[in-house]
Amino acid sequence: MTLSYILRRPYKGIIWIAAWAGFLLLFSCATVPITERRAIHLVSDEEMTALSFQEYTKVIQQSKLSHNPAEVSMVKNVGVRIARATEDLLKEKGMAEDVRNYKWEFNLIDDPKTVNAWCMPGGKVAVYTGILLVAKDETGLAVVMGHEIAHAVAKHGNERMSQGLLAQLGGVALSVALSTQPAATTDLFLSAYGLGTQVGVLLPYSRVHETEADKIGLALMARAGYDPREAVPFWKRMNEKGGSRPPEFLSTHPAPETRIREIEAYLPEAMKYYRGK
């Protein structure tokens, strides 16, 4: 069906678009590990991983990496432990294929003013030195890295990217979007991982992702041998660090009180994964 046909017959065009969107939603759903929420993924893991490796390389090349041996070693140690726990847990759940192409990498970026960390598809992780003061130790850092790796394992970036392709580019295939609108498509990818300008239409979903990443992250850190109960004091410290915030309904993150309350409610389940108790 051509664009001119849709313009000549707008009602039929709307029906066609709705049918196409329904087809995409029906046949592009996937299950999130642990929470078992259903999510739409229009982009293949291979495509997301290729984009990830490309953009991660750019970020690392443009950043100042830390040369503090103790801090760099701590980041890599925590990362490796959680990566192994992730692979073991997904294997047990019959989802090992989800991380088959992961090439884990953990870098510490020397930026004391940035309290942040993130993980791209394929296991590409960056931690900023600014968050180490809040983390305080390995267990606090495990809260952070478990949460960020959970975002990647749950394929939240794929889901956000898919939502963007539907909302802004009409649900076209990623390869088509990259060839016809490369800049817009790259911006979609970066915003999906919090590395670019936030796309307004995606904000409501981000709070769901944050809560889900908290739960999955607790399970991952617990399986790696870190006490998940330490997540509560970590987020309290993060709350103190954060200062003033917008109202929860305008934020991409849950309000601190909400987050801590939900973490406390999930701790009994997370403790089932904890082998260091």
pLDDT tens sequence across 143-173: 999 999 999 999 988 887 777 666 555 545 5
Q: Is residue 22 part of a domain?
A: no
Q: How many domains does the structure of the chain reveal?
A: 1
Query: At 85, which helix (H) or strand (E)?
Result: helix 69-92
| Structure-block tokens of residue 146 | 């478990």
Q: Whole domain around residue 258: which residue ranges? A: 35-273
Q: Is residue 126 part of a domain?
A: yes
Q: Is residue 19 part of a domain?
A: no
Compute the distance between CA of residue 72 and CA of residue 149 in angstroms, rounded to an integer.
18
Catalytic residue among 148, 159, 210, 212: 148
* 51 phi, psi to nearest 5 deg: -60, -40
pTM of the model: 0.78
Of 245 and 106, the one with more pLDDT: 106
SS3 (DSSP) at 116: coil
Q: Is residue 4 part of a domain?
A: no
Q: Is residue 10 part of a domain?
A: no
Please give the DSSP secondary-structure letter assigned to residue 80: H
SS3 (DSSP) at 86: helix
Catalytic residue status for 257: no
Compute the distance between CA of residue 127 and CA of residue 268 in angstroms, rounded to an integer.
28
Per-residue pLDDT for 259 more than 80? yes
Q: Is residue 27 part of a domain?
A: no
Of 36 and 273, the one with more pLDDT: 273
Do residues 134 and 140 touch, judged by C-beta distance below 8 A? yes
Q: Is residue 11 part of a domain?
A: no
Of the chain, the percentage scoring pLDDT greater than 90 comes to 46
Residue 90's closest CA among 34, 21, 17?
Answer: 34
Query: Model confidence at 102, in pLDDT bands (50, 70, 90)?
Result: very high
